Amino acid sequence: MKILVCDKTESDAIEKMRLAGLTVDTNFEITPEELPTILPDYDGCVVRSRTKIRQPLIDVCPNLKIIVRGGVGLDTIDADYARSKGITVMNTPKASSASVAELAIGYMFMLARNLYKASSTMKAEKWDKKAFEGDEISGKTLGLIGIGNIGREVARRANALGMTVIACDPYIKEAEGVRLVALDELLARSDYISLHLPKTKESADMLGKAQFGKMRTGVRIINCARGGIINEAVLHEALTSGKVAGAALDVYAEEPPTDWKLAKMDNVICSPHIGAATREAQGRVGAEVAEKLIEFAESH
């Protein structure tokens, strides 16, 4: 079986696949223009966030049998269409859960204690000690929109920190240490709101003007899930008015953004989609990708 690895994947995982008898080629810089001329020669491919596998590309790849996304979501792949063509589509939903959860928790601390702004003033040689009175997160209510693998990891850590954790997820009936509530109740009660759900037709722009209107004034929002779930224009308005005290964003409607006004706000902390960018997560993602491809090859 010939596999094309389109995005950076751990070398140990690639070597493991080769030792199992797979022919593995890597092209971590392959462009969308090159894919239709190269991918048709392969039985399978590995992608991360960078490479998109859409219907037109699938249509010119008659040999394609499997697509593995090293990551949580499948929003970079036209998965339903691929499956309708008999192509197996897989991802690695658990491998990066702890890393993303830790980033979300870290962002909560940064927002609560104004750490980004405090650090910036020190780099500017300013001693503005009285400007940075913050809050403790213990005793606060954390609302999780989505309580899958990553949401549960966030909940465990938040419970240990003394937070009250509530969650909204239509696909989950119960979660340890978490009270499940309707979205409107979550919006009204939460001091912090953290998103942990996939980007779908149903979740696109799910936090818009009406939803922000139901939030308590001074809420803080963290998005380490997917861009486009929060309406960025409405978020900008809420941050400007003070309805939202602060936001921490790792994902954006466009990546990289073409409009940087959110990133430049004083009450916004940003990072360039690094939720899974830890050595530990990358190792687990690579290992899981290799295992899935080897199992598929052995069964076909």
Catalytic residue among 185, 237, 255, 291: 255
Number of C-alpha atoms within 13 angstroms, CB side, residue 25?
12
Catalytic residue among 226, 232, 284, 288: 226
Q: Is 300 a catalytic residue?
A: no
Q: Is 236 a catalytic residue?
A: no
Catalytic residue among 50, 236, 273, 291: 273
Q: Is 196 a catalytic residue?
A: no
Q: How far apart are CA 23 and CA 84, in angstroms?
A: 26
Hey, which residues are catalytic here? 226, 255, 273
